[in-house]
Amino acid sequence: MSSAKVSKRPMTAGRAKKIAKNSLVHIILAILVVIWLFPIFWIIMTSLRGESGAYTAYFFPKELTFNNYKRLFTETTLLNFPRAFINTLIISVFSCLISTVFVLSVSYCMSRLRFRMRKAFMNLAMILGLFPAFMSMVAVYFILKAVGLTEGSGLRIALILIYSAGSGVGFYIAKGFFDTVPKSLSEAAILDGCNQFQVFYKIILPLSKPIVVYTILTAFLAPWLDFVFVRVIVGPKDKYWTVSLLLYNMLEKEFVNGWFTRWAAAAVIVSIPISILFVFMQKFYVDGLTGAVKG
């Protein structure tokens, strides 16, 4: 009896220590979740606030209303949010499509093909990736101006070119994923009569859904969130503003008091397409991981 009781005590003590450790971890995680969600909750509460003004001494609004969302789409004389939203959506969708094709194509070439200057090109791409893109924005602006893309509807084309033309340089992540796909699959497909495009389209891409999803998400987020290039290329031409530039102008000194709650409403609306895209693409991401594990 005594030996059984002695052997049982260390197990009880160890279990209590494990429970205490797990409780501490969960408490820390809960605090981090609250800290992370607090700005989102604050933005949503501000967008539903019925009182005007940028600064208030209370967190919870005295009056909840959707009037800020309504005014955002109806009062468009000074700052036209619907037009900026459509501009951003057009630029982001076309940039996403072009960039995804460029990145995945270059990644496949670097992963599967062998040609002269391949390593030199990869090293050059890595060096160029170390420099921020906005370092070249002045030179890019004068190039676009020389070809007449800094006026009128050409501004949308200019922004699409900026976000997509050089995207192929960022091929390293996708290339690393393509390297994990067995080369024997490509070789077997070539022996069966497939060309390189058919191997890429019918063999590699179906097995690489996670990296395809990642590429689409990053290609869409870059133009959707960018501010620097839009500010330089578009400037004061408000007809071609994107949402990032419009949100910035809502916080200018002459607009901030009257537009602050509508700015919060616009911030909520801007996050919706990104959330929808992520939720929609997440299914393919999980399916791709499952297929990759099975293969």
The per-residue pLDDT for range 162-178, each reduced to its tens digit, is 999 888 888 888 888 88
In which band, very low, low, confident or very high, does the pLDDT at 54 lie, cut at 50, 70 and 90?
A: low
Sign of the dihedral defined by the CA atoms of residues 153, 156, 160, 163, in that order = positive
Q: Which two tokens stand for residue 293?
A: 């594990």
Q: What is the pLDDT of residue 294?
A: 43
Separation between Cα atoms, residue 158 and residue 91, nearest integer Å: 10
H or E stretch covering 82: helix 81-112
Asked if the model's pLDDT at residue 293 lies above 60, the reply is: no
Which DSSP symbol is given to 202? I
Separation between Cα atoms, residue 268 and residue 57, nearest integer Å: 22
Angle at CA 202, nearest 5°, toward 199 and 207?
A: 100
The per-residue pLDDT for range 181-213, each reduced to its tens digit, is 888 888 888 888 888 888 888 888 888 888 888
pLDDT: which is higher, 290 or 208: 208
Q: What is the pLDDT of residue 1?
A: 47
* Structural domains of the chain sorted by starting position, each given as residue range(s) with its CATH number in brackets: 2-67 (no CATH), 77-294 (1.10.3720.10)
The per-residue pLDDT for range 225-275, each reduced to its tens digit, is 888 889 888 888 888 999 999 999 888 878 888 888 889 899 999 999 888
Q: What is the pLDDT of residue 127?
A: 84
CB 266 within 8 A of CB 243: yes
Q: Quick check: pTM over 0.75? A: yes
Residue 223's φ and ψ, nearest 5 degrees, are: -75, -25
The per-residue pLDDT for range 118-164, each reduced to its tens digit, is 888 888 888 887 887 777 888 888 888 888 888 888 899 999 999 99
Q: Which residues, 6 or more positions from 129, have their beta carbon under 8 angstroms from its beta carbon?
A: 169, 170, 172
Mapping DSSP onto H, E and C, the string for 97-115 reads: HHHHHHHHHHHHHHHHCCC
